[in-house]
Amino acid sequence: MKQVISTNNAPGAIGPYSQAIDAGQFVFCSGQIPVNPETGEIPEGITAQARQSLANVKALLAAAGLTMDNVVKTTVFLADMSLFAPMNEVYAEAFTAPFPARSAVAVKELPKQVLLEVEVIAVKN
């Protein structure tokens, strides 16, 4: 059984996918790029973009009745690995120990030419 999770507090899907899916014990959030859901704007620089992407993740989790503490796995897609250190600083502000498992990879290109995209899997307690 799966249920769609949707909120206006995160950017809407720009294709044939759901913002997030509640699959019983787990919630799977689609990758969040740093689009401000109120203005549609993308902030400048990796620090601001990381904060916006993580704020979008937080909004999706809230729509599912969860918090960042429920996240067990993240995947961070970066436009370039040189962005890893500043992204990691912002990431460390968003999560507390025990930190989720994480993969971070550089990709050739991201939607709207943003610098990063973050997807998460959360577990219900």
pLDDT at 101 over 90: yes
Identify whether the C-beta of residue 1 lies closer than 8 Å to the C-beta of residue 92: no
pLDDT tens digit sequence for 45-83: 999 999 999 999 999 999 999 999 999 999 999 999 999
* Sign of torsion over alpha carbons 61, 75, 117, 21: negative
For the chain, state the CA radius of gyration.
Answer: 14
pLDDT tens digit sequence for 1-52: 899 999 999 999 888 999 999 999 999 999 999 999 999 999 999 999 999 9
How much is the pTM?
A: 0.96
- The DSSP bridge partners found for residue 104 are 76
Domains assigned to the chain: 3-123 (3.30.1330.40)
pLDDT at 125 over 90: no
Identify whether the C-beta of residue 100 lies closer than 8 Å to the C-beta of residue 120: yes
Distance CA 26, CA 51 (A): 24
